[in-house]
Amino acid sequence: MGEEVDCLGAKAVASRGQIDDATAMVISEPSNNQPFIAHKGALWLEVATYGKTAHGSMPDQGVNAIMAMARFIHKLNSYRFSYQPHPLLGGPTMNIGVIQGGVKTNVVPDQCTMMLDIRTVPGQSHPEIIDGLNLLLEQVCEPAGARFAIRAVNDLPAVTTAAEDAFIKLSLDTAKQYLGRESTVRGVNYYTDASVYGPRLDIPILVYGPGEPTMAHQPDEWIEVDKYMEAIRFYMGLAVAYLGISKDQ
């Protein structure tokens, strides 16, 4: 539980050593029953700008924190990450999810806060990204007399498993045997609890589950019953094959 809240459940399980003996893992997030072997990391940042309050009729007497944030957002439009494209994940993305500031129409706002969602690919350094954004904030805030702060509220690494891994090959064979179709490994932009389990355990991880990834967080999110049943057959077949369980047992 708590995967949407900083992977709290996975962190608790990992800290207690409850799965330290695991040798492979399947994460049942929606993949439309396609094998995902890589997903992006997540760096959620709370960015705050601070100014000086004043009467709205005398803006020159204050420092507008919202305007400082607006200049920062303008800089973000031309910001370029440092990264190597991943064969399955491509490049990083950035989304401004929340912005708040000001108290009244006739008051110069002395604070503005923005939530930034950055999805990273393997090889990117989250501390380097934060350093780069700090530099941008310096450029837009200091000349205007504004201050700023950045706080990471979610910091999870990207995850990838080699397509040549024996567990991944077994998964593809299982899909062919039980579902009657060839599958091709893919990557996905969202993150999962694998961001917690992967670095701790260093085991092959497959993301496989019913549900269309693009439906996530939609008002009418749903899955097909046939795909739900397919996933159950796949999980059972993979468990039997991986654990070497005899069909007579």
For residues 95-121, average pLDDT: 97
Averaged confidence pLDDT in the chain: 94
pLDDT over 70 percentage in the chain: 98
For residues 60-70, average pLDDT: 97
> Does 41-156 match 8-39+159-243 at the fold level?
no
Q: What is the pTM of this model?
A: 0.90
CATH dotted code for 41-156: 3.30.70.360
Provide the sign of the torsion angle of the four alpha carbons 215, 217, 220, 223, taken in this order: positive
pLDDT at res. 46: 98
Sequence spans of domains, the chain: 8-39+159-243, 41-156
Banded pLDDT at 167 (limits 50, 70, 90): very high
Say if residue 249 is exposed, middle or buried (CB neighbours under 10 Å; 0-12, 13-18, 19+): exposed
DSSP assignment of 169-182: HHHHHHHHHHH---
pLDDT tens for residues 185-225? Answer: 999 999 999 999 999 999 999 999 999 988 888 888 889 99
Closest CA relative to residue 49, chosen from 30, 33, 23, 73: 73
pLDDT tens for residues 122-143? Answer: 999 999 999 999 999 999 999 9
CATH fold of 8-39+159-243: Aminopeptidase (3.40.630)
- End-to-end Cα separation, the chain, in angstroms: 32
Residues composing the chain: 249
